[in-house]
Amino acid sequence: MTALLPLFLLLLGFVALIIGANWLVNGATSVGVRAKLSPLIIGLTIVAFGTSLPEMVVNIFSCIKGSPGLAIGNIIGSNTMNILLILGVSAMIFPIDVSRISIRRDIPAGFIATFAITLMANDFFRGTSGTINWVEGIVLLMMGFGYLWLTFKKSSETSDLSDTSEDLETLQALPWGKTIFQLVFGIIGLYIGGELVSKNAQFLAIDWGMSESTVGLTVVATATSLPELITSIVAALKKNSSIAIGNVLGSNILNIFMVLGISSLITPLPFDTRMNHQLMILFCANAIMLGTVFTGKGRKISRFEGLLLTLGYVAFMLFSLYN
Averaged pLDDT, 115-144: 84
The four Cα atoms 44, 250, 293, 164 give a dihedral, to 10 degrees, of: -30
For the chain, what percent of residues have pLDDT higher than 70?
87
pLDDT band, residue 1 (cuts 50/70/90):
very low
Q: Which domain holds residue 226?
A: 4-322
Residues 6+ apart with CB under 8 A from 154: 101, 105, 160
The answer, yes or no, to whether residue 168 has pLDDT greater than 60, is no
Q: Is this model's pTM higher than 0.85 or not?
A: no
Query: What single-letter amino acid sits at 51?
Result: T
What does the pLDDT look like over 50-105, one tens digit per residue?
778 888 898 998 888 888 888 889 999 999 999 999 999 999 998 888 877 778 88
Give 115's pLDDT tier (boundaries 50, 70, 90).
very high
pLDDT at 35: 79
Report the CATH number that the domain containing residue 143 is assigned in CATH.
1.20.1420.30
Residue 162 has pLDDT above 60, yes or no: no
pLDDT-derived band at 40, boundaries 50, 70, 90: low
- Look at 294 and 70; give whichever has higher pLDDT: 70
- Please give the tally of structural domains in the chain: 1
Taking only the tens place, the pLDDT of each residue in 218-246 is 888 888 888 778 878 877 887 776 667 87
